[in-house]
Chain A
């Protein structure tokens, strides 16, 4: 099972995402932002980092990279796509996910081990979890505050598009404690926290993040 990981200039957690895919039993495939080549992958991860130094707006320039045109086109046909942190920002900027990520309400970069509640365990990236399950994975961002107009938030909640909410404290002032959302078909998921940093007991606060990557391997087989 081939899972592509896109490297943009300024991507940082691409090595971590590749490790997570490998530990879950998949084959990580390095993808380069400037090439129109998805290399026949079965799913794509947009990793965390500071693509283009967060210039203009976080994720705004990367969302217009050549490879992103292919990602958007294939995502609309059901290719599973996961955006983590900066990857989530890119997905919002690319129009694959709703909403926007703005400067944390307290104006600081914040890195902590965060409790999340899984609101939907039926997306391509969350099958391994149960609805309502609490998981602990790191959060680390300076611009992670999820916002949208109230009417849009109502609609997203009505459509059951919220995948994760922050619990035991909201680290960045996100509206309605939203940590991650999904596309209408549940194939594209974006979240600010970092599941790829919670895949080994040795280096993470838990191994709760591994489920993202085992989920997509099963989702791809089922599809």
Chain B
């Protein structure tokens, strides 16, 4: 018989040793919990505080910096801001859009398929919780060197997991990123984005209000998966036969999540909830304490009523379990029957587990005994906040002085072309079809643009043709050289990627992946990136709607390069006027917008050809980005351009390659100035467009204050650049598309193809 640690027992045994350090709590944090409660915490309470005060849930190291985003000038477009599950933006015609990126980095390294799959599942529930129908997903992925053995273990599993979950859920994957760098060898990054749409009046919030309202847990049963440090507590029980240590990576079931989505949307449509919260990190601990904390404060839960997958779970484990596909709703007593009926229709298990109470305590009972009695705000919202020490990395001056402009450059036309092919066939520059083919981009029938386009574009209204555009960008080389500028460059690139599709950028989200906050140099990088992003958003007039922070991405002393992944959402008044990235027709004029300087610091060329990272990243000019964005939107609206593609990593060489190979249309190109700089510089605020009306475009560009350079004319089956050997598209495509299949692709036919007679029914 297991002895349950009740509140009563905790009061009587103040000196019992508790394994708070093993649960990740510091001495002073544990002392603070004792101070809050006026006694030692029970085992269940200790478990709750330990997960909710973890870096992942409490943002204790990042909070002081993230507050900057809240200080940005108010935006008319922002309906719900930071602090809720996801921010909500007004996109016109009464529609609201909610979008968010979240990391699932550590689980994906341990168990790539399930880690990535549940990363998608978690972010989809965040979006659903806001009252929205999820309409698309994206993913931003980082791995160690592409040819490293461990990358061959992690990458295929992650890609299959992102696809397996999203495909089964019926959400189109509309874009993302896939980049490689040694620094991610022990710390791959899996950042998943979901976007959802609703009407303004349908926005839901996570709060428990109305004394007597019922707390309903619905979705999957609670099992022992996803219990991390809490398994330490199992050793505290007196039961020698107690539960074994449990796997701490969650297992996903997208089928259950699909049913959960449909049931939730029907519940929202019938107006059956007063508050709702998904169960993600920290499970029931998080959902109950956050709902109560955001509401009037009182809630009681009978833990015995929680449907279990494993009857041996201890109460602390039930509170901590991160079993997937679960939601928690606050429902008026008169609506409970109707709520349960909708769940029955969709075969979704739903159970009343408690109710909203008077007062401001969250109480939890187990077998009739009180095991939790806490002020919920102290669990959910008043966790520790740290001002961690910061220090500029000691190696940064040397790194910045190691200017990439001094690297040996190609001297002959043949060398230039060889470098071109090396850049575009490198794992970062190569065709990503091997990955994106594993994702459904068509489901729901509203995908207007998807990968490999610069932005994903989704129609949200079939009658008005209104739609949205989304892009995710996170160059970490730039951020390593200068995190302030790097974050701004990523913001600028995502902004530009949305703009080239013809959309008007509207709002920003982010996923900030960094090393350990306990390292002053990492903390400095983090603070600089946040400051850069906030300043950039202020200059572009965009609100930050929310975000996610992933710290401790480091192995031993070696942190990943700072990787602020920035998402920008834009709106299309009419998606029929969207601008695609590829060249389709012959005889069109190719123009380059923007100014090209000698900027090679952190460039793909320096990395691929010389294995070099040093110097300064390209300069940021957000005024120029804004002018370019406005010009592209105007040209899209007027129908003056036939294609537009941004220039970023890999420079013009990468852009020309992708534009030509998209539909197999070549071009004759004349470069102005030094051809090396023209091809490989990564100056920002640039895009390549095609048009049948170069005069009209040049006039408009002049009016917009954007420099224009004529590059040439589309046509033929080669990229013929003056002064370089002609590059047949077939040859270019062969090297560009061979890289990822050669690294990760298996044989087309893995099993023999004979079917014995009589084993397959025929009629």
User: B440 touching A140 by the CB < 8 A rule?
Assistant: yes
User: B755 touching A150 by the CB < 8 A rule?
Assistant: yes
B709 contacts the other chain (CB 8 A)? no
User: B446 touching A98 by the CB < 8 A rule?
Assistant: no
User: B755 touching A9 by the CB < 8 A rule?
Assistant: no
User: B439 touching A111 by the CB < 8 A rule?
Assistant: yes
User: B168 touching A53 by the CB < 8 A rule?
Assistant: yes
Q: How far is the CB of A114 from chain B (nearest CB, A)?
A: 11
User: B440 touching A100 by the CB < 8 A rule?
Assistant: no
A156 contacts the other chain (CB 8 A)? yes
User: A10 touching B761 by the CB < 8 A rule?
Assistant: no
A53-B254, A97-B763, A105-B749 known; A149+B758 contact, CB < 8 A:
yes
B437 contacts the other chain (CB 8 A)? yes
Q: How far is the CB of A23 from chain B (nearest CB, A)?
A: 10
A41 contacts the other chain (CB 8 A)? no
CB-CB under 8 A from A92, the residues of chain B are 761
Q: Which residue of B lies closest to A201 (CB)?
A: B576
A108 contacts the other chain (CB 8 A)? yes
CB-CB under 8 A from B347, the residues of chain A are 9
A142 CA to B575 CA, complexed, in Å: 31
CB-CB under 8 A from B745, the residues of chain A are 106
User: By the criterion of a CB under 8 Å from any partner CB, how many residues of chain B are at the interface?
Assistant: 50
Partner among B255, B448, B753 whose Cβ is within 8 Å of the Cβ of A202: B448
User: B255 touching A50 by the CB < 8 A rule?
Assistant: yes
A222 contacts the other chain (CB 8 A)? no
User: B748 touching A106 by the CB < 8 A rule?
Assistant: yes
B751 contacts the other chain (CB 8 A)? yes
User: A99 touching B749 by the CB < 8 A rule?
Assistant: no
Interface centre among B254, B751, B755 (most CB of A within 10 A): B755
CB-contacts of B221-237 with A (<8 A): none
A112 contacts the other chain (CB 8 A)? yes
Interface string of B92-103 (1 = CB under 8 A from A): 000000000000
Q: Which residue of A lies closest to B759 (CB)?
A: A149
User: B167 touching A109 by the CB < 8 A rule?
Assistant: yes
Interface centre among A52, A95, A98, A108 (most CB of B within 10 A): A108
Q: Which residue of B lies closest to A147 (CB)?
A: B755
Partner among A98, A109, A203 whose Cβ is within 8 Å of the Cβ of B763: A98
Partner among A53, A112, A203 whose Cβ is within 8 Å of the Cβ of B459: A203
A64 contacts the other chain (CB 8 A)? no
User: B763 touching A15 by the CB < 8 A rule?
Assistant: no
A9-B259, A99-B762 known; A109+B438 contact, CB < 8 A:
yes
CB-CB under 8 A from A138, the residues of chain B are 442
A16 contacts the other chain (CB 8 A)? yes
Q: Which residue of B lies closest to A19 (CB)?
A: B445
User: A16 touching B757 by the CB < 8 A rule?
Assistant: no
A179 contacts the other chain (CB 8 A)? no
B160 contacts the other chain (CB 8 A)? yes
A197 contacts the other chain (CB 8 A)? yes
B367 contacts the other chain (CB 8 A)? no
A200 CA to B575 CA, complexed, in Å: 13
CB-CB under 8 A from A148, the residues of chain B are 755, 760, 762
Partner among B164, B748, B754, B758 whose Cβ is within 8 Å of the Cβ of A109: B164
A156 CA to B749 CA, complexed, in Å: 24
A136 contacts the other chain (CB 8 A)? no
Interface centre among A95, A109, A150 (most CB of B within 10 A): A109
A9-B347, A147-B760 known; A196+B445 contact, CB < 8 A:
yes
CB-CB under 8 A from B755, the residues of chain A are 147-150, 175
User: B445 touching A197 by the CB < 8 A rule?
Assistant: yes
Q: Which residue of B lies closest to A137 (CB)?
A: B442
User: B760 touching A152 by the CB < 8 A rule?
Assistant: yes
CB-CB under 8 A from A99, the residues of chain B are 760, 762
Q: Which residue of B lies closest to A16 (CB)?
A: B445
B524 contacts the other chain (CB 8 A)? no
User: A108 touching B160 by the CB < 8 A rule?
Assistant: yes
Q: Which residue of A lies closest to B462 (CB)?
A: A19
Kindly state the interface size class of chain A when it binds its partner: 35 or more
A19-B445, A109-B163 known; A50+B254 contact, CB < 8 A:
yes
B649 contacts the other chain (CB 8 A)? no
Partner among A98, A109, A200 whose Cβ is within 8 Å of the Cβ of B761: A98
A138 CA to B459 CA, complexed, in Å: 19
Interface centre among A99, A111, A147, A196 (most CB of B within 10 A): A111
A15 CA to B133 CA, complexed, in Å: 14
B290 contacts the other chain (CB 8 A)? no
User: B160 touching A173 by the CB < 8 A rule?
Assistant: no
User: A149 touching B254 by the CB < 8 A rule?
Assistant: no
Partner among A12, A53, A105 whose Cβ is within 8 Å of the Cβ of B750: A105
Q: How far is the CB of B325 from chain A (nearest CB, A)?
A: 11
CB-CB under 8 A from B444, the residues of chain A are 12, 15-16
Partner among B253, B258, B762 whose Cβ is within 8 Å of the Cβ of A156: B762
User: A194 touching B442 by the CB < 8 A rule?
Assistant: yes
Partner among B447, B746, B749, B753 whose Cβ is within 8 Å of the Cβ of A203: B447
User: B437 touching A111 by the CB < 8 A rule?
Assistant: yes
Q: Which residue of A lies closest to B578 (CB)?
A: A202
CB-contacts of A168-202 with B (<8 A): 173, 175, 183, 194, 196-197, 199-200, 202
B346 contacts the other chain (CB 8 A)? yes
User: A140 touching B576 by the CB < 8 A rule?
Assistant: no
User: B459 touching A202 by the CB < 8 A rule?
Assistant: yes
Q: How far is the CB of B435 from chain A (nearest CB, A)?
A: 10
Q: How far is the CB of A106 from chain B (nearest CB, A)?
A: 5
Q: How far is the CB of B752 from chain A (nearest CB, A)?
A: 10
A156 CA to B762 CA, complexed, in Å: 9
Q: How far is the CB of A130 from chain B (nearest CB, A)?
A: 25
B170 contacts the other chain (CB 8 A)? yes
Q: How far is the CB of B637 from chain A (nearest CB, A)?
A: 17
CB-CB under 8 A from B418, the residues of chain A are none
User: B757 touching A152 by the CB < 8 A rule?
Assistant: yes
Interface string of B436-476 (1 = CB under 8 A from A): 11111111111110000000000100100000000000000
A54 CA to B748 CA, complexed, in Å: 23
Interface string of B58-98 (1 = CB under 8 A from A): 00000000000000000000000000000000000000000
User: A203 touching B446 by the CB < 8 A rule?
Assistant: yes
CB-contacts of B120-167 with A (<8 A): 160, 163-164, 167
CB-CB under 8 A from B440, the residues of chain A are 109, 111, 140
CB-CB under 8 A from B437, the residues of chain A are 108-112
Q: How far is the CB of B662 from chain A (nearest CB, A)?
A: 13
A55-B255, A197-B442, A203-B447 known; A106+B747 contact, CB < 8 A:
yes
CB-CB under 8 A from A111, the residues of chain B are 436-442
A96 contacts the other chain (CB 8 A)? yes
B756 contacts the other chain (CB 8 A)? yes
A148 CA to B763 CA, complexed, in Å: 11
CB-CB under 8 A from B759, the residues of chain A are 149
User: A10 touching B448 by the CB < 8 A rule?
Assistant: no
A203 CA to B445 CA, complexed, in Å: 6
Task: Known pairs A16-B442, A109-B160, A147-B760; list 9 more (Cβ under 8 Å).
Answer: A54-B168, A92-B761, A106-B748, A108-B437, A147-B753, A152-B762, A173-B753, A203-B447, A204-B442
Interface residues of A (CB under 8 A from B): 9-10, 12-13, 15-16, 19, 48-50, 52-55, 92, 95-100, 105-112, 138, 140, 142, 147-152, 155-156, 173, 175, 183, 194, 196-197, 199-200, 202-204
The 10 A-B residue pairs with the shortest CB-CB distance, nearest first, are: A53-B255, A12-B170, A98-B762, A149-B757, A197-B442, A16-B445, A105-B749, A50-B168, A152-B762, A100-B760
A-B contact pairs, 8 of them (CB 8 A): A9-B258, A9-B346, A10-B168, A100-B760, A149-B762, A150-B757, A175-B755, A197-B442
Interface residues of B (CB under 8 A from A): 160, 163-164, 167-170, 253-256, 258-259, 346-347, 436-448, 459, 462, 575-576, 745-751, 753-763
